[in-house]
Amino acid sequence: MSGVVIVVLVAISHLGARRPSRVPGPLQNVLEMTVSGLFNFVEGIIGPEGRKYAPFISTLFLYILCMNLLGIIPGLRSPTSGLNMTVALALCSFFYVQFQAARHNGLWGYIKHFWGEPWWLGPLMFPIHVIGELAKPLSLSIRLFGNIFGEDKIIVILAAMSPYIIKPWLKFVPIQFPMMAFAVFTGFIQALIFTVLTAGYLTVMISHAEEAPVGIERH
């Protein structure tokens, strides 16, 4: 299912961008508004430098959103309702943030972020900061998995119970429909939360190099 999402996203992007026009058609218009909106959103979180990180974070949002919504289609299952997928996504996010932090701050600045201030507390703060960083992918993966797995299970249970709950002449009325509508909303929210947290983690990691040294006031 995750492979299907990748193929669909790549195909739509290719069709909308292969022949850009000054007067965009419907597909190009939708893609331009989507990309512009997501890039502006990422910049709003990270700041002016956010545009160079926006392609990864925006793609992450669209990918997770589409996978979350697959579960409301009869016969399909949300890939994000499986822990393997959410762990893989969280690890991608984690290693991307660490790579960009080391690239932005340099190796010493990256280590200094974990060492903390004052320097003499470094032996205590370093393992605490490392544990805190390692907890982030665990938090991201469990949160996304738990919410999407729960929604999909509730939809399946309600669909299975429909013949026994409602009257015989209403047996084709899907009592799971309200939950499916709610799943669209929560699928969007969960993709947004995962994306915002990733952008927030990145902001914290790359902002260390811009901090003024101790005792020097910034104006």
Q: Per residue in 161-216, pLDDT tens? A: 776 666 655 556 667 777 888 888 988 999 999 999 999 888 888 875 444 433 33
CA distance 54 to 37: 11
- Which ranges of the chain would DSSP assign to H, the alpha helix? 2-17, 26-46, 54-69, 83-115, 122-165, 177-206
- Among the residue ranges 19-28, 50-59, 128-137, 152-161, the one predicted with the least confidence is 19-28
For residue 176, the tally of other CB atoms under 10 A from its CB is: 19
Q: What is the mean pLDDT of the chain?
A: 81
Residue 66 lies in a domain: yes
Q: Is residue 111 part of a domain?
A: yes
Predicted pLDDT of residue 166: 63
Instruction: Confirm whether 50 is domain-assigned.
Output: yes
Residue 204 forms part of a structural domain = yes
Which range scores top for mean pLDDT: 17-21, 27-31, 41-45, 207-211? 41-45
Range of the structural domain that residue 18 is part of: 2-209
User: Cis (ω within 30 of 0) for the bond into 118?
Assistant: yes
pTM of the entire predicted model: 0.82
Residue 20 makes CB contacts below 8 A (sequence gap 6+) with 28
pLDDT of amino acid 216: 34
pLDDT at position 39 over 60: yes
- What pLDDT, on the 0 to 100 scale, is given for residue 210? 47
Give residue 57's pLDDT. 93
Asked whether residue 67 carries a pLDDT value surpassing 70, the answer given is: yes
CA distances from 91 to 64, 67, 80, 199 (A): 14, 17, 14, 14
Q: Please indicate, yes or no, if residue 216 is contained in any of the structural domains.
A: no
Find out whether 199 and 53 touch, Cβ atoms under 8 Å: yes
- The distance from CA 26 to its chain's CA centroid, rounded to whole angstroms, is 26
Report pLDDT for 159. 77
How many domains does the structure of the chain reveal?
1
Q: Is residue 219 part of a domain?
A: no
